Amino acid sequence: MNNIKITLATKKDKNYLLSYFEHYKIKGLIENRVNCYILHNFTVIARTNNKIIGVLQWYIKEDPRAGVVEFEEVHVSEKYRNKGVGDLLIKFAIRSVRDYFKKIQIKPRKIFLFVEKNNKAAISLYKKYKFKFISEVGRLFSDKEIQLFYSRNL
């Protein structure tokens, strides 16, 4: 797909992100979250014609000197799936983790994430980028779905 721009979100993207996550529908909470995505976490966004079509956010877990990052909220708008956007998001995010740790002069170790056991598209995407299955973590986010723990060395 042409004309896709991948960047890290800044304060200017706040309104776009608020509308992207409006399905959470919990007023107050969503505003705090989006502030957190922008000010504390790192949010990778895919955009076309000034519209957000995909996001991925990452943040440093625990002691930054451990060099461990979690990826979450990996999402591409339904209409734009299977066009390489997820690919671009993951690639950009891995590079941005490396760049950030280089800047703060800490050796990055691992990126981890949770993915639902039946989510074939996401599992295939993560495997493509060298994430390895570590273990099942049970019914974490819902009573129906089993989550898997994947991680990738840096």
Ligand X SMILES: CC(C)(COP(=O)(O)OP(=O)(O)OC[C@H]1O[C@@H](n2cnc3c(N)ncnc32)[C@H](O)[C@@H]1OP(=O)(O)O)[C@@H](O)C(=O)NCCC(=O)NCCS
Pick the piece of the chain touching ligand X (CB under 6 A) from 13-21, 35-43, 84-92, 136-144: 84-92
Determine the number of helices (DSSP H) and then strands (DSSP E) in the chain.
4, 7
Q: If you count them, how many residues does the chain have? A: 154
Q: Is 91 in the site for ligand X (CB under 6 A)?
A: no
Nearest distance, CB of residue 33 and ligand X, angstroms: 17
Closest approach of ligand X to the CB of residue 49, in Å: 17
Q: Is 84 in the site for ligand X (CB under 6 A)?
A: yes
Q: Is the dihedral of CA 38, 40, 46, 52 positive or negative?
A: negative
Strands (DSSP E) contained in 5-89 are 5-8, 42-48, 51-60, 68-76
Sheet holding 51-60, edge to edge: 5-8, 42-48, 51-60, 68-76, 110-116, 147-153, 132-138
39, 121, 134, 137: which one binds ligand X (CB under 6 A): 121
Asked if 60 touches ligand X (CB under 6 A), the answer is: no
In this chain, which of 3, 15, 82, 142 binds ligand X, going by CB under 6 A?
A: 82
Give the 3-state secondary structure of residue 126: helix
In the complex, what is the shortest distance from the CB of residue 32 to ligand X, in angstroms, rounded to a whole number?
A: 22
Q: Which residues on adjacent β-strands are paired with residue 62?
A: none
Q: Please state the closest distance from residue 34 (CB atom) to ligand X, in A.
A: 18
Pattern of binders to ligand X over 3-22, x per CB under 6 A? --------------------
Tell me if 87 contacts ligand X by CB under 6 A. Answer: yes
Tokens coding 33: 């979250």
Binding site for ligand X (CB under 6 A): 74-76, 81-87, 115, 119-122, 124-125, 128
